[in-house]
Structure 1
């Protein structure tokens, strides 16, 4: 387990040091979107990282098409909440890539209380995961990591609800 944590820490460090940032469309410019193309990793067991909590994942494709839609979601819509921010983006690659999408809400300051998160991802493989890195439901901050492995394209649409 320690090796897995060390690997995760190193992977996050590599991503942070070797990332390309892209802007995304946003409802209120209060969400920060970072998409990274990960080409290598290394191990460093000296760092600590929070446990990553998996999101609920539903594969929406029929398994026949080369396009795979994966819905990552967390929490539930509640009476009185509203859409507080959105983000979307799309990229195509000439060779398979390992992609890391980081969504940070709010971009700065204090956000509204988060009740529900939905991230719909389209990619060319069914290899992908979603994690909460910090914050979460019932909190005023949320950082989400979405991974897509060996994909030729990556498209996402994210919605965060709250009050």
Structure 2
């Protein structure tokens, strides 16, 4: 990702964070929910620093906001690839997939850059929809979540075991 794209992503993410922070009674409460200081939260809003995925997840959960929207903006509610559209409630399944992405990366000791998080969630949603017989069937999608978690774990393990192989392109 070029520096200009990264700056734009951070500014857009900061604007979404600002909207969420406005839901809290005080900025201090929002910062506490995210596990950071008010000063650090202000930097997130300004788009001047990298924002850790676990901090975003904590903030989204505390504000009862769709994590996929927080990370990807409107891209989280559009086409997920291969002709499948998000006909199911993306906020529910998207949050579950985002949880899997964040947790498996943390569990495997892999830092996922903030700009890559949205792409990774969308990629994993696409894999989930491709695996399903009917991407509109929420029950089937939920039943495939353990498969997706194992897949992500396996791919991360392979990438760690053989550096330079098993990794997808960052673009």
Judge same fold: TM > 0.5, yes or no: no
With the length of structure 1 as denominator, give the TM-score of the two structures. Answer: 0.25
Structure with the higher helix share, 1 or 2: 2
**Whose RCO is larger (CA < 8 A, sep 6+)?**
1
With the length of structure 2 as denominator, give the TM-score of the two structures. Answer: 0.24
